[in-house]
Amino acid sequence: MLKKVISIVLSVAFVVSLLALTSCSIDFRSDVEKAMDKFLKADSYTVTVNNDLGMHTYMVNNGTVYFFEDYDETEKTSYLYSDENDYYYATVSDGEETQSIEKAQLKKEAYVIKYMDTIQESDIVNQVFAYRHILDMAEKTDKGYKYSVQESTDEYTYRIIYTIEMDDGSLVLTQKYESKKEKYEEQIVISNVGKTRIEIPDKVLSK
Amino acid sequence: MKSVFKRITALIFAVIMLSLLIMLASCNAYDSVIDSFIKSDNYTVESENYTLMVDGATVNFTMDDTQMYLYYDKGAKSYYYVTQGEEGITKLAIDSEQYITYYKEIVSPASNMASKLSAFKHLRDTLEETDGKYVIKESERNSYTVAVADGEITYTVENEGDTNNYSYKIYNIGSTKVEIPDNVNEAKAID
């Protein structure tokens, strides 16, 4: 009798464990939601922002930041990085004929704060974090989700369409703003999540 | 022979069970409390001035004596923005587009914290932990402290000699529930 009871208890425990394991292994969420979670947890990623002003790319990898701007005739690349126990912020400006490198050694605290500010200013984490909660309210598209927001003020009415979609393994956020006065479009591509590596060029390291 | 067979079966069974339990535990354990917050749909953010409770798409924001609720009523199939204070209840029926705008604005303290903590997480190797706290001293006067304990996160900014000090506490990660009170549910909505 006792053997039977033990056998039944063990069988039930086995089935429950198997079911629990299966339910947490199978991820029923959409690809976009999974990509958003992966990005929020990641220590490294690449973000490219394209808008009417130009393009900028920033790459993050565990405390190292690469930032590239191409807004006018000068291309500017910045690096925030640590080298053993020293911390640096370097900027490389490439004009049509000239190149200049400026490099400053930072105190550890200044480096930490600059790093946190850089992530904060990019606003990407904020956007992904907030949108993730309300995916259920969005309209589904072939590749992801679409939000449509219309706001009216006393002066004018504007409409913003946000999309969060997957494209070739990258998470793509677009924002289209339209009012009677102006139109604005921005595209943010989040790629290489968990795989981004940043190489600091020799010319910066040796400066 | 039978006894040996039984023992081997029991051993295999025990190993399978143990492996399953270990796998089960590891698949639910996030790297850290910060990761849990960043990935959570439910959390409470408290500062000296307000308390923000997020339960997925349902939000309660309390500041001084004023309560604000942002929620979707499945029965009425409508979105509501409600404020409740000394002057009574104001309940606005809003469309989903207005809801998204309000939502992003109201949860912004939490999304800002998520962004800060995400950056902080990248710097864990750089920062030194003392008594469960990470202190970043910007200068002799200014410091930022991130403390993680008992499933709660505290982020404090101190400006020595200044009154502009503030702190955020994030707790009930994964377990925050927002109940819409009956008087709010039953209040008449204005279109």
Does any domain span residue A17? no
Q: How many domains does chain A have?
A: 1
Interface test with B, best of A15, A23, A84, A119 (most B CBs within 10 A): A119
Q: How many domains does chain B have?
A: 2
What is the distance between the alpha carbons of residues B101 and A97, in angstroms, rounded to a whole number? 46
Q: Based on the fold, state whether residues B72 and B10 are members of the same structural domain.
A: no
State the smallest CA–CA distance between residue A99 and chain B in angstroms. Answer: 31
Does any domain span residue B23? yes
Q: Based on the fold, state whether residues B105 and B120 are members of the same structural domain.
A: yes
Does any domain span residue A81? yes
Boundaries of domain holding B2: 1-30
What is the distance between the alpha carbons of residues B69 and B187, in angstroms, rounded to a whole number? 12
Does any domain span residue A22? no
Q: Based on the fold, state whether residues B41 and B103 are members of the same structural domain.
A: yes
State both tokens at B83: 């404020």
Does any domain span residue A12? no
Which chain B residue's Cα is nearest to A22? B24
Does any domain span residue B191? no
**Partner-chain contact A118 B119, CB within 8 Å:** yes
Which chain B residue's Cα is nearest to A126? B111
* ipTM score assigned to the predicted complex: 0.76
pLDDT tens digits for B123-145? 878 888 887 788 887 776 778 88
Q: Of A146, A140, A135, A202, give the one whose Cα is nearest residue A174.
A: A146
Q: What is the dihedral of CA B119, B121, B126, B129, to 10 degrees?
A: 130
Count of beta carbons in the 10 Å neighbourhood of residue A120: 16
Most distant CA atoms of chain A, gap in Å: 91
**Contact status, residue B37 vs residue B153, Cβ threshold 8 Å:** yes
Interface test with A, best of B31, B118, B124, B134 (most A CBs within 10 A): B118
Q: Based on the fold, state whether residues B106 and B177 are members of the same structural domain.
A: yes
**Partner-chain contact B27 A133, CB within 8 Å:** no
Question: Which pLDDT does position B47 carry in this prediction?
Answer: 93
Question: Which pLDDT does position B28 carry in this prediction?
Answer: 38
Does any domain span residue B7? yes
Boundaries of domain holding A107: 31-205
The arithmetic mean of pLDDT across residues A48-64, rounded, is 91
Question: Which residues of A are less than 8 Å from B13 in CB distance?
Answer: 10, 14
**Partner-chain contact A129 B110, CB within 8 Å:** yes
Q: Based on the fold, state whether residues B19 and B46 are members of the same structural domain.
A: no
Does any domain span residue B124? yes
Does any domain span residue A159? yes
Q: Based on the fold, state whether residues B21 and B105 are members of the same structural domain.
A: no
Q: Based on the fold, state whether residues B24 and B51 are members of the same structural domain.
A: no
Does any domain span residue B65? yes
pLDDT tens digits for A138-168? 899 999 999 888 777 777 788 889 999 999 9
Q: Based on the fold, state whether residues B70 and B105 are members of the same structural domain.
A: yes
Instruction: Please state the three-class secondary structure of A100-128 as a single string.
Output: EEEEEEECHHHHHHHHHHHHHHHCHHHHH
Does any domain span residue B139? yes
State both tokens at B118: 């995400």
Q: Based on the fold, state whether residues B11 and B59 are members of the same structural domain.
A: no
**Partner-chain contact B107 A130, CB within 8 Å:** yes
Strand partners, B80: B71, B93
Q: Based on the fold, state whether residues B24 and B62 are members of the same structural domain.
A: no
Is pLDDT of B23 > 70? no
Is any Cβ of chain B less than 8 angstroms from the Cβ of A105? Answer: no
DSSP state of B138: S
What is the distance between the alpha carbons of residues B121 and A115, in angstroms, rounded to a whole number? 11
Does any domain span residue A21? no
Is any Cβ of chain B less than 8 angstroms from the Cβ of A63? Answer: yes
Is any Cβ of chain B less than 8 angstroms from the Cβ of A71? Answer: no
What is the distance between the alpha carbons of residues A14 and A33, in angstroms, rounded to a whole number? 31
Q: Based on the fold, state whether residues B152 and B71 are members of the same structural domain.
A: yes
pLDDT tens digits for B46-103? 999 999 999 999 999 999 889 999 999 988 889 999 999 988 999 999 988 888 889 9
Question: Which residues of B are less than 8 Å from A130 in CB distance?
Answer: 103-104, 107-108, 111
Q: Based on the fold, state whether residues B102 and B123 are members of the same structural domain.
A: yes
Confidence of residue B166 (pLDDT cuts 50, 70, 90): confident
What is the distance between the alpha carbons of residues A179 and A157, in angstroms, rounded to a whole number? 6
Does any domain span residue B105? yes
State both tokens at B32: 């850290």
**Contact status, residue B32 vs residue B121, Cβ threshold 8 Å:** yes
What is the distance between the alpha carbons of residues B54 and B33, in angstroms, rounded to a whole number? 17
B172: left (phi over 0), alpha (psi -120 to 50) or beta: left
Question: Which pLDDT does position B91 carry in this prediction?
Answer: 96
pLDDT tens digits for A115-135? 988 888 878 888 899 888 888
